[in-house]
Amino acid sequence: GAVVSQHPSRVICKSGTSVKIECRSLDFQATTMFWYRQFPKQSLMLMATSNEGSKATYEQGVEKDKFLINHASLTLSTLTVTSAHPEDSSFYICSARVGRVNQPQHFGDGTRLSIL
Amino acid sequence: AQSVTQPDIHITVSEGASLELRCNYSYGATPYLFWYVQSPGQGLQLLLKYFSGDTLVQGIKGFEAEFKRSQSSFNLRKPSVHWSDAAEYFCAVGDNAGGTSYGKLTFGQGTILTVHP
C-alpha cells in the first residue's frame, strides 16, 4: 500500500520549454503533497507544500511563477516548470501524505529533468 | 528551527557485518523521526518511523532504530548487512509543533552505504 507514482521519470528538453510533472497517489487519498528538489550528492530540499483544493505554500527562495503547483484532487498534484533553463536541471521528487502530520510521507520515484 | 545531522557521509562495511548509521536532530519538542532509503535515481522508501512510545523501533528489511532523547539521536542499525542494502540513507525529523512548518520534513545530508562482498 501507499504507492506514489511520478511521471515522467526522465525528461530532456530545450531551454524555454515548460515541463509538467505529475504525482499520483495510487491507493490512498493524499490530503497533502510535497515537492522536493535534489541536487547531485545532496539532500532533499523542500520546494512547496500542496494541499488539495488550496494554493500551494512555497518555501523561501522558490519562485512561485517559475514552479507552478496544482493539487486539483486528492490523488493528483502537478508541478510545472515554466520556461525552463539549464539551471533548472535537477532531480524532482514528490511525496504524499494521508491526513495528520504524524503519518509518514510516501515518495514517488522522482523525475530527472535535463534542460539543454 | 529543526535540523538533522548525519555525521557520516560515506560508510563502507563488509557483507554480513553489523551496521550503525548515526543521526542527531535538533528540535524543541518531541520529534517525529523517520529513516528513508534511496537507491540511485529513485525516490525514497520509508524504513521506519518513531512518533511515541517504545524507543526501539523496528522497520522493514531487518532495520531498527533507537530514539535517545538525552542524546538527541535516532541511530539506525542492522545486525547483518546484505549487499542489497547498498544505497543512501536519510534521517528526517517532522515538525509537529504547528505554525508554518507544520508537517514538514527536514532531512539530513544522507549517508551513502557501500557494501563489500
DSSP-derived letter for residue A82 is T
Q: How confident is the model at residue B97 (pLDDT cuts 50, 70, 90)?
A: low
Between B60 and A43, residue with greater pLDDT: B60
> What mean pLDDT is predicted for residues A81-109?
89
Q: Assess whether pLDDT exceeds 60 at residue B100.
A: no
What string of DSSP letters covers A54-85? S--EEPTT--TTTEEEEEEETTEEEEEETT--
- The pLDDT of residue B72 is 94
With cell 520556461, the residue in question is A83
Query: How far does A109 lie from chain B, in Å, by closest CA?
Result: 4
Nearest to B110 among A32, A43, A109 (CB): A43
CB contact under 8 A, A101 and B36: no
Give the β-pairing of B105-107 and B44-50: unpaired
CB contact under 8 A, B103 and A112: no
- Convert the pLDDT of each residue in A18-62 to its tens digit: 999 999 999 888 888 999 999 887 889 999 998 887 889 999 999
Nearest to B42 among A49, A105, A109 (CB): A109
